[in-house]
């Protein structure tokens, strides 16, 4: 749906609370009288992906570092706050956009200078890249994981390539490295169910089917 999520929201007659909060829609359905209903399932997909890989994850235990301030970041921040993450450190190359998200979501969001993002890794239980850095054809994300806590989760919403430089570095350091494919699959499942009245199971078979050449 990138880069059409904001446009999709503007076309809707009925907007879910999640889509309104995030300011973007990735799922459109038609209701009575042809009214267009908009929802955003990115946050759901993000949390479900983490839960798949780390079933015992307790979001309330430690701060999270989120890189980026676009639509994906808004969805991730909203979902993390709903899950009770005590503090979200938000770093973006354009700091004004990060401050706008802080103003939107409140005091638990702390803006971090982009060039000091590596310092904000310290004691974070979760590190999330929502930027396009690391995607095929884009520069790698320059983030040092030297201060990463043992057992921390590192995830990337980018899924092309599946193993971004960030994910590979996190795995080398023994962190819990979670790629972005699961988020893609989980966020699509609710929309698929609404359109076809059948909920797909997000499992290894589905991952293999999606990754097949």
Which of these, 164, 29, 24, lies nearest to 104 by C-alpha position?
A: 24
**In this structure, what are the phi and psi dihedrals at residue 154, rounded to the nearest 5 degrees?**
-125, 125
Residue 93 resides in a domain = yes
Place of tokens 């301030």: 69
What is the model's pLDDT at position 65? 99
For the domain that residue 87 is a member of, what is the CATH number?
3.40.50.720
Which residue segment(s) compose the domain that 142 sits in?
A: 55-181
Residue 118 resides in a domain = yes
Mean pLDDT of the chain: 95
Question: Could you tell me what percent of the chain has a pLDDT over 90?
Answer: 94
Domain count, the chain: 1
Residue 44 resides in a domain = no
What is the model's pLDDT at position 27? 95
Q: For 54-105, how does the pLDDT look when each residue is reduced to its tens digit (9 = 90+)?
A: 999 999 999 999 999 998 999 999 999 999 999 999 999 999 999 999 999 9
Residue 158 resides in a domain = yes
Give this prediction's pTM: 0.94
Residue 109 resides in a domain = yes
Catalytic residue IDs: 5
Residue 110 resides in a domain = yes
Residue 113 resides in a domain = yes
Query: How far apart, in whole angstroms, are the C-alpha atoms of residue 46 and residue 190?
Result: 13
Instruction: Reduce the DSSP state of residue 92 to 3 states and report it.
Output: coil
- 88, β-bridge pairs: 64, 109
Residue 49 resides in a domain = no
Number of H helices, E strands in the chain: 8, 9
Q: How many CB atoms lie within 10 A of CB 53?
A: 14
Instruction: Please answer whether residues 149 and 174 qualify as being in contact, where contact means their C-beta atoms are separated by less than 8 angstroms.
Output: no
Dihedral, CA of residue 136, residue 141, residue 146 and residue 150, to nearest 10: -60
């Amino acid at each position: 749906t990138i880069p059409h999520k904001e446009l999709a929201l503007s076309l809707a007659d009925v907007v879910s609370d999640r889509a309104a909060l995030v300011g973007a829609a990735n799922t459109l359905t038609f209701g009575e009288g042809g009214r267009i209903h908009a929802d955003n399932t990115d946050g759901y997909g993000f949390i479900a992906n983490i839960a798949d890989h780390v079933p015992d994850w307790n979001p309330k235990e430690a701060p999270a570092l989120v890189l980026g301030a676009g639509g994906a970041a808004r969805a991730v921040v909203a979902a993390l706050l709903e899950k009770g993450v005590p503090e979200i450190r938000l770093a973006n190359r354009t700091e004004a956009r990060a401050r706008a998200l802080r103003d939107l979501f409140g005091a638990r969001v702390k803006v971090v200078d982009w060039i000091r993002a590596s310092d904000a890794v310290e004691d974070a239980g979760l590190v999330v890249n929502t930027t396009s850095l690391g995607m095929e054809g884009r520069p790698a994300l320059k983030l040092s994981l030297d201060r990463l806590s043992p057992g921390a989760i590192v995830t990337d919403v980018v899924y092309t390539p599946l193993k971004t430089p960030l994910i590979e570095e996190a795995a080398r350091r023994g962190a819990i490295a979670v790629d972005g494919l699961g988020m893609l699959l989980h966020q699509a499942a609710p929309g698929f169910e609404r359109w076809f009245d059948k909920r797909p199971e997000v499992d290894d078979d589905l991952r293999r089917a999606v990754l097949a050449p």
